[in-house]
Structure 1
Amino acid sequence: MIRRHEVAFSLTSLISLNLISSLVAFDSAIATPPRTPDKSVNCEILVVGGGLSGVATAYEGLLAGRTVCLTEITDWLGGQISAQGTSALDERPTQRSQQFYSRGYLELRNRIQRKYGELNPGDCWVSDSCFLPRDAHTILTQMLKDAEKKGKGKLQWFPNTVIKDLEIAADGKIINGAIAIQHQPPKGAPPLNTLTLSQSIEDAYRYENSSRFTKTIVRFIPKAAKENAPKWYVVDASETGEIIALADVPYRLGIDARSYLEPSSSSANNDPYCTQGFTYTFAMEATKEAQPQTMPPFYLQYAPYFSYELARLANFDLVFTYRRIWSPSKGQPAKFGGVSFTAATPGDISMQNWTWGNDYRPGTAKDNLIYTRQQLQGTGQLQPGGWMGGLRTETLRRGEENALSFYYWLVAGTTDSQLGEGVKQQRTNNRFVSGLNSPMGTAHGLSKYPYMREGRRIIGRPSWGQPEGFAIWEIDISRRDYNDEYYSKTLPADMYRRLRAAVAGLEAVSVIDGQVTPDKAMRRTRSTIFPDSVGIGHYAIDFHPCMVNSPPEAPGNIERPGERRGAGQAYPFQIALRAMIPQKIDNLLVGGKSIGTSHIAAAAYRVHSFEWSAGAAAGTVASFAIKNAIAPYQLVDDLPKQEPQLEALKQLLQKNGNPTAFPDTSIFNQNWDNWK
């Protein structure tokens, strides 16, 4: 239960402490010179990013007996379910009912149930499991300790740590070392998690000490290995693809150009500025009595944006219980807009993550959060010692302000940007939950890091059928049949024929040679089957589109037209190993949201169980490659010919309880409509 001293920081003190008196930006234009490392640390697997994919990588590496170094910009393990506050597991009903997940993800779910005596202590209705973010970190920490002991591996955990520089061999093929900066508050300074991310991130990437942080410079280097074999692997499991940007390997960002592979794209051209919105989550507690609510000084700037979005969602209790993460007593049954839930009771705690609320959705070159390669070059971040994380600090700050303003709108607002006047009612019997012992673990009450739905995505190495670089595309997973006349009228004739051939399954050749017209071709009812699949996932293609104008909260602003066309249901899908292997560098693997997917496919390849499956694959591949003195790209470079060592890897994954395919996967099984 959340005790009263844990919510001692009021919204008023938060605003005065953090967002007014502490908004002093650092000048990031000039990179500080490197310092001599304070220490060197040997690793077999260096994992950058302590989110679910990074934890899963470490988990499998430790069970394989490897020495794993794990870095994380915050002080919590878990990413989405902890530091980002989205502790509501996104799952699909059929996969959940069959418990068809990676072994580590199943263990995580089981430990959540043991912790609370139930899987859903929040009694939320969006998921079968909603819980407190701070507990996720504790559970995952213990999981890694147990994996370390069981596998006789070694975990070296580096919280509050960012990668600043890479040491890349002269031929550009191997990362020989990585320089990191770990920060801690000096004596007398405010504790960690007092400041918001926008107030601390630039300091975290600077070598020199400051009044806020004392820095330790760490050099990660490989352990000794067999001669002529890769000595270690670096896994980019960061939330935005930091290492692939810093290493300057080819990647995509934002919208992909419309093509037969991505036919629902909202643009005929690439648009790197339009990524999915990011969210600073926060917790709020239901109270018996009305509470004083203080309007943030910046509220009127953001108020024109907020909305329940749809009439069927325009109910405070519905929104509050949607992601309720703690409920000490069950309320009375309630219903609104066809959704059943239990009413909120005093002491209930809700986590907020709402599209027309604390989602912040920039989409222009003026305000995009994740810098493009061109922007990184322009700001000097690709120069030696120049890396500052690759994010626009001002946009982080606006996202924080937007989230705080959304809380005030929820409890005291009376406007609705999409539904008009008379819809929004005040509900002041709630309090903003903050404090270092609160669910989010911050003095300011916002999540330690924003929930990231999309980052940089690698372009894999040239492969058969994809000579410009491998990726997983919309048509590889979408259930859409493409019979909508939009496609036949919008796409050029040759592109439309290629689309229909690509999704025709066993009739593909007949469409290509003209024996079957595109409109008569039967649509395959499954996702693409990859011979190099090393993991699985299943979720809808779910969009939180960028906004047209800058800033996102501008009155009358709209979502990017056409962005939701690609949204919809997906078939159960696979994670191709080729999507995890970047170009140029042989000992770099990619997990999490930065694998090689398109903009539309990435909207499904971003949820909790997928992240774990991708991380489990990365940890297993790295360990397998070290043991067998083979680079990952050599496992797939002869495809579609048979690859014996690839088959051995897949057998290892499956033996370890990490599935690489859903049950009954084959080109002849067309019965995937039953997978909901």
Structure 2
Amino acid sequence: MKPKHLISYHHTCLISLTLISSFVAPDAAIAAPPRTPDKTVNCDILVVGGGLSGVATAYEALLAGRTVCLTEITDWLGGQISAQGTSALDERPTQRAKLYYSRGYLELRQRIERKYGKLNPGDCWVSDSCFLPKDGHEILSSMLKDAERKGKGKLQWFPNTVIKDLNISSDGKIINNAIAIQHKPAPNAPPLNTFTLSQTIQDAYTYQNSSRFTKTIIRLAPKQAQKGNVPNWYVVDASETGEIVGLADVPYRLGIDARSYLEPSSSSATNDPYCTQGFTYTFAMEATKEPQKQTMPPFYMQYSPYYSYELQRLASFPLVFTYRRIWSPRRGEQMKFGGINFTAPVPGDISMQNWTWGNDYRPGTAKDNLIYTREQLQATGQLNPGGWLGGLRVETLRRGEENALGYYYWLTAGTTDSQLGNGVKQPQPNNRFLSGLDSPMGTAHGLSKYPYMREGRRIIGRPSWGAPQGFSIWEVDISRRNYDDEYYRKTLSPAEYRRLKATLAGLEALSVLSGQQRPENVARRTRSTIFPDAIGIGHYAIDFHPCMTKSPPEAPGNTEREGERRGAGQAYPFQIALRAMIPQKIDNLLVGGKSIATSHIAAAAYRVHSFEWSAGAAAGTTAAFALKNNIAPYQLVDELPKIEPQLIALQNLLKKNGNPTAFPDTSIFNQNWEDWK
């Protein structure tokens, strides 16, 4: 199979640059009044966001026989593995070796292998599976069709669709219906995916037709009117940024959490909502036999002070190219650099680029943060009726797009390195940028349809047993760090440090809190926190792409926010608690994916592919279970530590269906998890 790509970089560089630099605000008036819905579509479960978590939610709900409405801002299913371009499965070695995943994620891996005849058609070295983004979309589409047939459910799929407004009951507890806008090209307008997200996002969220888009207004609603207090349908926020969380105005966190015994490695003594993990516009490039003409973008000099190989052990172009190589027609010669074994690039190889000091864009101040805080949403009118425009800063999206295009030029023609100095970076002209509607990213401009998002709005769960201020999963729940070094004794008060060590002391916690044992004399547990309401699993390192100190991120001499990487490191296999998926206030809203109730540091592990699938599988199963048993999800956990029998029934159903809720031998008496790598 030879993947097609219509137009190479040297033909479309000027097109791509023109598209971004000639941004014009949509001609539809943003404040125009809403239109009457063109149609109403009824369903049992509305899933907002067609990424891995959203697809997994729909997959399990369809197998349970439910009618599912699934909306997605792009026209591809899969999020990370398709529209965001990061089609390289992030997995941990032990979990991968044991194949201890949700059933749908296992099926995804099997279908990738079946399509290519091997799991890793890109022969990348960062993962056991790197593949073409479009194939990720096609595989997931076929999985949902098969789930619909097997479970006798019904899928109503709405690509190129955004949620514009929510109708919430007078008591604020139920989402009665949602208003969506689906867009298609206007007459005589270019096809979709011609323009970048920064150029189209406000238009996509505007009711009126424009010169680019013809729009259909859709009312998404339950099959029957609400009766009584138990919800008759569910909305699942599986969006990349916690969009429904923001629009519904439920309590949430953004960015850095204040340092405490629960989040001891935090880089700040106070909350900082502006510093979230970096986002990335990925792109694909092809190795060529002959040198290609590389055209410098007009904005390149603005961003060039940022680009770097980052570390001396990574300062090899072949290493960076093959890091996330997504297609290779034949194996190159064996190479080794910086202790990493890989095969050399050969002409025809296609690499997807996703590099921290490259196309990552890492804003971290109130001037340039991407995801608006509640205060910023209020100031921009987005919490007013009909005012929602996606909750993102458009200018920062545009800069992220420019930064990504500039990074390609740096890779192929640049000679500077912001972190390693002169003499390290050499030009690599035997490459071309792939763009065109039939290119790996499926866009005329060559960038991913949507940026790869590592962190969004994170809900604060409801007050619960052990969490009177609202449930959340914290750094100490998953980190392998022992916290014995002097830094933690200095930055935490003696009382806080004692609470930290008690939290990690396992069965000896009470003796530490009571003062019977000194904190430094107690061995820490070697496992993650065990949640009685666990409904899913995950495992990944706490992996940071920190925000930068100054604005803009590409400013010469800029540095990463001091202390942001302190919390990075290995994590134990962890669980997903049902309480982390239930927001405050609204009873028929569940949250999946990256917006579950985690802290800033914990979220750095609760964000990769298999976790997203497990969270989505849990959300879909929970919603279908709640409808069948006429019970609201919060009622399953509101009397903890007393265990509700229906909670056990839900957990048993998940396990019966091949969706693990715990890793093997999970027990408070099993303290040995060190062998899980």
User: How would you bin the TM-score normalised by the shorter chain?
Assistant: over 0.9
Tell me, in whole angstroms, the C-alpha distance in 2 between the residues paired with 1:637 and 1:199.
45
- TM value normalised by structure 2: 0.99
Tell me, in whole angstroms, the C-alpha distance in 2 between the residues paired with 1:7 and 1:137.
23
Tell me, in whole angstroms, the C-alpha distance in 1 between the residues paired with 2:44 and 2:121.
38
**Moved segments of 4+, more than 4 Å:** 26-30
For 1:208, the equivalent position in structure 2 comes to 208
For 2:557, the equivalent position in structure 1 comes to 556
For 2:307, the equivalent position in structure 1 comes to 306
Tell me, in whole angstroms, the C-alpha distance in 2 between the residues paired with 1:255 and 1:626.
36
For 2:614, the equivalent position in structure 1 comes to 613
Tell me, in whole angstroms, the C-alpha distance in 1 between the residues paired with 2:671 and 2:474.
20
* Correspondence list, 1:39-438, <5 A: 39-224=39-224, 227-228=227-228, 229-438=230-439
For 1:591, the equivalent position in structure 2 comes to 592
Preserved contact between residue 6 and residue 435 of structure 2 (Cα < 8 Å): no
- Establish whether residue 488 from structure 1 lines up as the match of residue 489 from structure 2: yes
Q: Identity over aligned residues, as a percent?
A: 80
Tell me, in whole angstroms, the C-alpha distance in 1 between the residues paired with 2:171 and 2:186.
41
Preserved contact between residue 9 and residue 432 of structure 2 (Cα < 8 Å): no
Unaligned runs of 5+ in 2: none
Question: Per the alignment, in what secondary structure is the counterpart of residue 305 of structure 1?
Answer: coil
Tell me, in whole angstroms, the C-alpha distance in 2 between the residues paired with 1:132 and 1:90.
15
The AA in structure 1 aligned to 2:143 is M
* Correspondence list, 1:29-40, <5 A: 30-40=30-40
Sort the Cα spacing of 1:661 and 1:669 in 2 relative to 1 into closer, same or farther, 3 A: same
The AA in structure 1 aligned to 2:582 is I
Preserved contact between residue 29 and residue 379 of structure 1 (Cα < 8 Å): no
* 1:32 CA drift (Å): 2.1
Tell me, in whole angstroms, the C-alpha distance in 2 between the residues paired with 1:505 and 1:266.
26
- TM value normalised by structure 1: 0.99
The AA in structure 2 aligned to 1:647 is I
Tell me, in whole angstroms, the C-alpha distance in 1 between the residues paired with 2:194 and 2:448.
11
- Establish whether residue 579 from structure 1 lines up as the match of residue 604 from structure 2: no
Tell me, in whole angstroms, the C-alpha distance in 1 between the residues paired with 2:514 and 2:523.
15
* 1:485 CA drift (Å): 1.1
Question: Per the alignment, in what secondary structure is the counterpart of residue 207 of structure 1?
Answer: coil
For 1:479, the equivalent position in structure 2 comes to 480
Tell me, in whole angstroms, the C-alpha distance in 1 between the residues paired with 2:662 and 2:506.
18
Preserved contact between residue 15 and residue 296 of structure 1 (Cα < 8 Å): no
Question: Per the alignment, in what secondary structure is the counterpart of residue 589 of structure 1?
Answer: strand
Tell me, in whole angstroms, the C-alpha distance in 2 between the residues paired with 1:393 and 1:534.
36
Question: Per the alignment, in what secondary structure is the counterpart of residue 566 of structure 2?
Answer: helix
Deviates more, 1:358-367 or 1:27-36: 27-36
* 1:122 CA drift (Å): 0.0
Tell me, in whole angstroms, the C-alpha distance in 2 between the residues paired with 1:536 and 1:501.
24
For 1:547, the equivalent position in structure 2 comes to 548
* 1:484 CA drift (Å): 1.2
* 1:188 CA drift (Å): 1.4
Preserved contact between residue 45 and residue 68 of structure 1 (Cα < 8 Å): yes
* 1:25 CA drift (Å): 2.7
Tell me, in whole angstroms, the C-alpha distance in 1 between the residues paired with 2:605 and 2:592.
15
* 1:154 CA drift (Å): 0.1
Tell me, in whole angstroms, the C-alpha distance in 2 between the residues paired with 1:225 and 1:131.
44
Question: Per the alignment, in what secondary structure is the counterpart of residue 664 of structure 1?
Answer: coil
* 1:159 CA drift (Å): 0.3
- Establish whether residue 641 from structure 1 lines up as the match of residue 642 from structure 2: yes
Preserved contact between residue 487 and residue 496 of structure 1 (Cα < 8 Å): yes
Tell me, in whole angstroms, the C-alpha distance in 2 between the residues paired with 1:132 and 1:622.
32
* 1:474 CA drift (Å): 0.2
* 1:144 CA drift (Å): 0.2
For 1:671, the equivalent position in structure 2 comes to 672
For 2:15, the equivalent position in structure 1 comes to 14
* 1:465 CA drift (Å): 1.1
- Establish whether residue 653 from structure 1 lines up as the match of residue 626 from structure 2: no
* 1:4 CA drift (Å): 5.6
Q: How many residues align?
A: 675
Structure 1 residues 92-136: Cα deviation after superposition (integer angstroms, max 9, x where no partner): 000000000000000000000000000000000000000000110
Structure 1 residues 258-315: Cα deviation after superposition (integer angstroms, max 9, x where no partner): 0000000000000000000000000000000000000000000000000000000000
The AA in structure 1 aligned to 2:376 is Q
* 1:17 CA drift (Å): 3.9
The AA in structure 1 aligned to 2:203 is D
Sort the Cα spacing of 1:29 and 1:675 in 2 relative to 1 into closer, same or farther, 3 A: farther
Question: Per the alignment, in what secondary structure is the counterpart of residue 70 of structure 1?
Answer: strand
* 1:588 CA drift (Å): 0.2
* 1:643 CA drift (Å): 1.0
Structure 1 residues 486-542: Cα deviation after superposition (integer angstroms, max 9, x where no partner): 101211111111101111111100000111101111100000000000000000000
Deviates more, 1:54-63 or 1:480-489: 480-489
Tell me, in whole angstroms, the C-alpha distance in 1 between the residues paired with 2:528 and 2:25.
47
The AA in structure 2 aligned to 1:14 is I
Tell me, in whole angstroms, the C-alpha distance in 1 between the residues paired with 2:289 and 2:246.
49
Deviates more, 1:139-148 or 1:220-229: 220-229
For 1:451, the equivalent position in structure 2 comes to 452
* 1:3 CA drift (Å): 3.6
Question: Per the alignment, in what secondary structure is the counterpart of residue 176 of structure 2?
Answer: strand
Tell me, in whole angstroms, the C-alpha distance in 2 between the residues paired with 1:245 and 1:465.
26
Sort the Cα spacing of 1:325 and 1:176 in 2 relative to 1 into closer, same or farther, 3 A: same
Sort the Cα spacing of 1:225 and 1:107 in 2 relative to 1 into closer, same or farther, 3 A: farther
For 1:570, the equivalent position in structure 2 comes to 571
The AA in structure 2 aligned to 1:176 is N
* 1:252 CA drift (Å): 0.2
For 1:604, the equivalent position in structure 2 comes to 605
Question: Per the alignment, in what secondary structure is the counterpart of residue 497 of structure 1?
Answer: helix
Question: Per the alignment, in what secondary structure is the counterpart of residue 450 of structure 1?
Answer: coil
Tell me, in whole angstroms, the C-alpha distance in 1 between the residues paired with 2:520 and 2:340.
38
Structure 1 residues 50-109: Cα deviation after superposition (integer angstroms, max 9, x where no partner): 000000000000000000000000000000000000000000000000000000000000
Tell me, in whole angstroms, the C-alpha distance in 2 between the residues paired with 1:30 and 1:75.
23
* 1:27 CA drift (Å): 8.5
Unaligned runs of 5+ in 1: none
